[in-house]
């Protein structure tokens, strides 16, 4: 049985567990922490950390010379070491989107799955030495092969930064969409530029979470949900996915698996004809979500979808008492 070692980061005080021979960087990313790193291969020095207490064990050779770092005493590369005891480390973390660098990576198509007439699930894999740093809920621009850049939300968790997932809508006249549906194949290169956007979790909040997605607005919502799960979020989570029909909720089984696996997770699929007016939308909040309006301020809401949906939900939620700062919106241009 693999031994677990607890690692605490300074100055944030955040803690995570390192198991087996996983590197400290791998363990931290898997736990949902936005640690600073670059090549992940021992060459760049971006993941340099200082050992305050505890012992480490080197897992791979690295070319970066830690002795060249000013004040190099007890400095290690998190990508090349594991913990042999409990550790306390001084390490850099990205605390908001301004601390995530802009990147240009060429990934390759791992898989394309057209799930219905309107949506393709695109899986890209980055090089091991050039993985994408991003925060859950952010978006990037995709292109290459003489195609114009096209903006798409990342629908996967930063904890698996080599595997990037996207939910691409079919858009008539859009070059990238046409390429995905008609001619893109496994192994094709795709340029990834970014990330951008501020549709990210407030990790300092201990309020319950409510996620609302309209059609392919589920992309960034999925990223946020999986990130909350990697953080071992203790409060309740509710997910509403609104679409024209069940077929448009193309990852319905995934949502139901979350509900089955997590005690404090509720999945509420909604057909759009059930919310034709503001009164119906308010009924969803008060009845289907089962939230006492006097406790509305105990929740953080994250809503992704079309401008019409966002305008409606903003008016309803703030109108019934949700503090504006607890509502985060992401407009998906072609949701």
DSSP code of 25?
A: H
Beta bridge partners of 148: none
Alpha-carbon dihedral sign for residues 158, 161, 163, 165:
positive
> Each residue of 70-84: pLDDT tens digit?
444 689 999 999 999
> Each residue of 197-224: pLDDT tens digit?
999 999 989 999 999 999 999 999 999 9
* pLDDT at position 227 over 80: yes
- Number of structural domains (the chain) is 3
Q: What is the pLDDT of residue 219?
A: 97
List, as one string, the DSSP characters of 165-206. EEEEEP-TT-HHHHHHHHT--TT-EEEEEEEE------TT--
**Structural domain boundaries, residue 47:** 4-93
* Cα distance between residue 265 and residue 235, in whole Å: 9
Average pLDDT over residues 138-152: 91
Backbone angles phi, psi at 206, to 5 degrees: -115, 25
Q: What is the pLDDT of residue 71?
A: 47
Q: What is the pLDDT of residue 125?
A: 97
* Cα distance between residue 253 and residue 257, in whole Å: 6
Is there a domain that residue 202 lies in?
no
Residues 122 and 227 in one domain: no
Q: How far is CA 222 from the centre of its chain?
A: 7
Q: What is the pLDDT of residue 284?
A: 64
* pLDDT at position 278 over 80: no
Is there a domain that residue 284 lies in?
yes
Average pLDDT over residues 7-25: 93
| Confidence tier at 282 by pLDDT (50, 70, 90) | low
Last residue of a domain, one of 138, 165, 196: 196
Peptide bond before residue 195 is cis, with ω within 30 degrees of 0 = yes
Q: What is the pLDDT of residue 73?
A: 60
- CA angle 18–20–25, rounded 5-degree value: 40
Residue 23 maps to which CATH number? 3.10.20.30
User: Which residue in the block uniquely carries the two structure tokens 């939900």?
Assistant: 313
Average pLDDT over residues 277-290: 62
Average pLDDT over residues 264-291: 72
Q: What is the pLDDT of residue 328?
A: 98
Beta bridge partners of 35: 93
Number of neighbours of residue 327 by Cβ within 10 angstroms: 18
Token digits of residue 135: 């925060």
Strand order in the sheet with 265-271: 265-271, 237-243, 208-214, 299-305, 327-331
Residues 162 and 262 in one domain: no
Is there a domain that residue 203 lies in?
no
Q: What is the pLDDT of residue 134?
A: 96
Last residue of a domain, one of 175, 196, 217: 196
3-state helix, strand, coil in the chain (%, to 5): 30, 35, 40
Q: Is 186 exposed, middle or buried (0-12, 13-18, 19+ CB in 10 A)?
A: exposed
Residues 23 and 84 in one domain: yes
Average pLDDT over residues 219-233: 95
Last residue of a domain, one of 49, 76, 93: 93
Residue 226 and residue 156 in contact, taking contact as beta carbons nearer than 8 Å: yes
| Confidence tier at 1 by pLDDT (50, 70, 90) | low
User: To the nearest whole number, what is the mean pLDDT of the chain?
Assistant: 90
> Each residue of 115-126: pLDDT tens digit?
999 999 999 999
> Each residue of 59-72: pLDDT tens digit?
988 878 776 554 44
Residues 111 and 140 in one domain: yes
Is there a domain that residue 201 lies in?
no
Is the pTM value of this prediction over 0.95? no
* Cα distance between residue 300 and residue 325, in whole Å: 9
* Rounded percentage of the chain residues whose pLDDT exceeds 90: 68
| Confidence tier at 5 by pLDDT (50, 70, 90) | very high
Q: What is the pLDDT of residue 10?
A: 94
Alpha helices per DSSP H over the chain? 24-30, 175-182, 218-230, 252-261, 278-283, 307-319
Q: What is the pLDDT of residue 172?
A: 85
Average pLDDT over residues 8-20: 93
Number of neighbours of residue 268 by Cβ within 10 angstroms: 17
Residue 224 maps to which CATH number? 3.40.50.80
Residues 263 and 215 in one domain: yes
Q: What is the pLDDT of residue 286?
A: 67
* Cα distance between residue 40 and residue 46, in whole Å: 9
* pLDDT at position 277 over 60: no
Is there a domain that residue 229 lies in?
yes
Number of neighbours of residue 78 by Cβ within 10 angstroms: 26
């Amino acid at each position: 049985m693999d031994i677990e070692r607890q690692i605490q980061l300074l100055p944030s005080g955040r803690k995570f567990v390192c198991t087996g021979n996983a590197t400290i960087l791998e363990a931290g990313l898997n736990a949902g922490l936005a640690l600073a790193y670059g090549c992940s291969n021992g060459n760049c020095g971006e993941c340099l950390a200082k050992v305050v207490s505890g012992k480490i064990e080197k897992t791979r050779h690295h070319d970066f010379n830690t002795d060249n770092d000013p004040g190099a005493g007890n400095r290690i590369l998190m990508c090349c070491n594991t913990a042999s005891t409990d550790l306390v480390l001084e390490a850099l973390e990205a605390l908001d989107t301004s601390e995530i660098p802009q990147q240009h990576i060429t990934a390759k198509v791992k898989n394309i799955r057209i799930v219905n007439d309107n949506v393709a699930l695109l899986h890209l894999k980055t090089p091991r030495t050039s993985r994408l740093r991003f925060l859950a809920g952010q978006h990037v621009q995709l292109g290459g092969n003489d195609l114009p850049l096209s903006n798409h939300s990342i629908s996967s968790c930063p904890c698996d930064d080599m595997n990037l997932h996207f939910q691409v809508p079919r858009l008539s006249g859009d070059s990238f969409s046409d390429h995905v549906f008609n001619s893109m194949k496994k192994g094709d290169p795709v340029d990834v530029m970014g990330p951008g956007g501020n549709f990210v979790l407030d990790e300092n909040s201990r309020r319950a979470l409510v996620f609302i997605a309209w059609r392919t607005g589920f992309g960034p919502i999925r990223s946020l949900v999986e990130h909350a799960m990697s953080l071992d979020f203790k409060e309740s989570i509710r997910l509403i996915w609104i679409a024209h029909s069940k077929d448009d909720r193309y990852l319905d089984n995934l949502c139901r698996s979350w509900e089955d696996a997590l005690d404090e997770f509720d999945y509420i699929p909604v057909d759009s004809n059930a919310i034709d007016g503001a009164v119906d939308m308010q009924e969803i909040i008060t009845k289907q979500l089962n939230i006492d309006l006097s406790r509305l301020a105990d929740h953080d809401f994250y809503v992704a979808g079309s401008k019409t949906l966002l305008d409606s939900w903003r008016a309803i939620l703030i109108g019934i008492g949700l503090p504006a700062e607890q509502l985060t919106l992401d407009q998906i241009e072609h949701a």
